[in-house]
Amino acid sequence: MAEPGDRPARMLDGGLVLRTAAPADLDQIGALLTERGEADDAVDHRLVVTDPDLGWGACAVVVDGSQVVATATLLDEAVRVGDVVLPAGQVELVAVATSHEHRGLARALMGWAHRRSAERGHVLQVMIGIPYFYRLFGYEYAIDIAPAREVPHDAAERLAAGAARAGEVGAGAGQGGPVVPLLREATTADLPALARLQEAAQAGFDVAVPHPAARWRALLGQSASALRVLERDGAVVASARVRPGDGLLVAEPAAVDEAAARDLLAALAGEAVASGEPLSVVHRAGTVTGRGWDALLEPADDAAEQYYLRIADPAVLLDALRPVLARRRVAAQFDAERLGGALLISTFGAHYRLPVVGDGFGPVETGGPMQGPGVHRGFGVAPDQLGALLLGGRGFAGLRRLRPDVYGDREVGEALFPPQTADVLSYYLPW
Ligand SMILES: CC(C)(COP(=O)(O)OP(=O)(O)OC[C@H]1O[C@@H](n2cnc3c(N)ncnc32)[C@H](O)[C@@H]1OP(=O)(O)O)[C@@H](O)C(=O)NCCC(=O)NCCS
């Protein structure tokens, strides 16, 4: 049995078949996603499988005869760490029919997604998902999700009133009057400006996951959220992804300057006040909107919210990150001797040696179990903590305080594995 792309379909227990999805499955997949999630998920799915960069190969189904009983989708992502860009995968739109739960179908689909991800050269996987579940498939919480913070009602009213006054003045002032910024729905023509705004917003983060081109296209057609742009003098100067419903949520805000950030918030506050909805905005620390809005907002809830990360092969990830690690070593002025000739990381069941070569690190050499890396001036890092160590907000200093299975030379560890600031743009909004 073959399927598009020559990927063989897999026979599962009970005569079920796992295969790449096909156009004839569209309605059944949509119905399943709607039944187990939201109607918006069916729209998101259609946008993925009809996109030229992703297409039907990005989605798998399990069928019981002619009935689709489970589905999952793998999106292509890129994770930037410093100046290294890592190809990555994101599993999305996972659903199993209630009639077929607890039979290993989600597990089988995760296996499909991870095989496809490896074939596409992904170095890691990042995702948002229901709590705990994905840890069963090699994921671990690693990257903090930026908090959504409420705009107090009186502040929203003040902002909205200010925006309305500016509108009246602008309208009454005729040709020579002040230019009132215009908030409108984004169109295809805005995509380059939207991407530029996000690039600028993410530039200051150590770790960034931008929207790939396929996602930008999908976001224009998505029903779960809407893309808005703020125009000033005919140019796009701010943007946001807005989700109404359970209050007005402003996600992925970006602005070119303080005035654009203020005008964006005022215009959105106007909408929230007019519809009687509370307003929350995602706080992107250190960005133009983050700095501009911070003082106005309620404090963030301190409950942990994190993206999941999966590292299929630490050697591949460490190899890709060699330039970043080398720059940190040079900046800290650690010579080969200080490191014992190599950066050694043991995940206990295996170990990884990056020999010091000139100003850099040579290719990763993989070895077997190593219980005591400290003897070789190496680091012990539990495999499920490696993602948090390399991409997370605690760094070595924070992790070693929390976890007995993350240890090593303190000075070297703090210099080579500093806390990372991160900004992730995902299809599904985690708030
Ligand atoms: C969550 C869901 C995908 C699980 O599908 P499933 O086919 O029943 O899962 P599997 O049978 O493959 O279970 C795999 C493992 O997860 C465990 N498990 C199943 N549901 C779980 C849950 N909600 N939380 C924690 N563990 C769970 C199973 O016990 C099994 O463990 P084991 O392999 O060690 O025995 C399915 O219940 C579903 O579609 N729910 C509604 C939609 C949803 O939540 N989608 C995920 C969005 S991120």
pLDDT of residue 402: 97
pLDDT of residue 3: 44
- Whether the CB-CB separation of 277 and 303 falls below 8 Å is answered with no
pLDDT of residue 367: 98
The yes-or-no verdict on residue 6 having pLDDT over 80 is: no
- Whether the CB-CB separation of 368 and 120 falls below 8 Å is answered with no
- Whether the CB-CB separation of 91 and 139 falls below 8 Å is answered with no
Atom 46 of ligand 1: nearest residue by CA position: 94
Number of H helices, E strands in the chain: 13, 22
Atom 24 of ligand 1: nearest residue by CA position: 133
Helix ranges restricted to H, 333-427: 386-391, 395-402, 410-416
Q: What are phi and psi of 181, to 5 degrees?
A: -65, 145
In the predicted model, what is the mean pLDDT of the chain? 95
Q: What is the pLDDT of residues 259-317, one digit of tens each?
A: 999 999 999 999 999 999 999 999 999 999 999 999 999 999 999 999 999 999 999 99
pLDDT of residue 171: 54
Centroid of ligand 1 to alpha carbon of 133 (angstroms): 7
- Reported as a pLDDT band with limits 50, 70 and 90, residue 164 is confident
Q: Which residues are near ligand 1 (CB < 6 Å)?
A: 36-37, 94-96, 101-107, 129-130, 132-133, 136
- Distance of alpha carbon 363 from alpha carbon 322, whole angstroms: 8
Find how far residue 220's CA is from the centre of its chain: 18
Spatial neighbors of 179 by CB under 8 A, at least 6 apart, are 170, 232, 233
Higher pLDDT, 6 or 46: 46
Helix ranges restricted to H, 104-190: 105-119, 153-172
User: What does the DSSP 8-state code read for residue 336?
Assistant: T
Q: What is the pLDDT of residues 371-426, one digit of tens each?
A: 999 999 999 999 999 999 999 999 999 999 999 999 999 999 999 999 999 999 99
pLDDT of residue 163: 80
- Reported as a pLDDT band with limits 50, 70 and 90, residue 235 is very high
Q: Does the 4-143 domain belong in CATH 3.40.630.30?
A: yes
- Distance of alpha carbon 250 from alpha carbon 248, whole angstroms: 7
The yes-or-no verdict on residue 326 having pLDDT over 50 is: yes
pTM comes to: 0.94
pLDDT of residue 223: 92
- Distance of alpha carbon 87 from alpha carbon 328, whole angstroms: 22
- Reported as a pLDDT band with limits 50, 70 and 90, residue 181 is confident
- Give the least confident one: 159-173, 184-198, 372-386, 408-422: 159-173
Superfamily per CATH, domain 148-302: Gcn5-related N-acetyltransferase (GNAT) (3.40.630.30)
Atom 18 of ligand 1: nearest residue by CA position: 133
Q: What are phi and psi of 330, to 5 degrees?
A: -65, -45
Closest alpha carbon to 90 in 385, 307, 243: 307
Probe residue for ligand 1, chosen from 38, 133, 134 as the CB with the greatest number of ligand atoms within 8 Å: 133
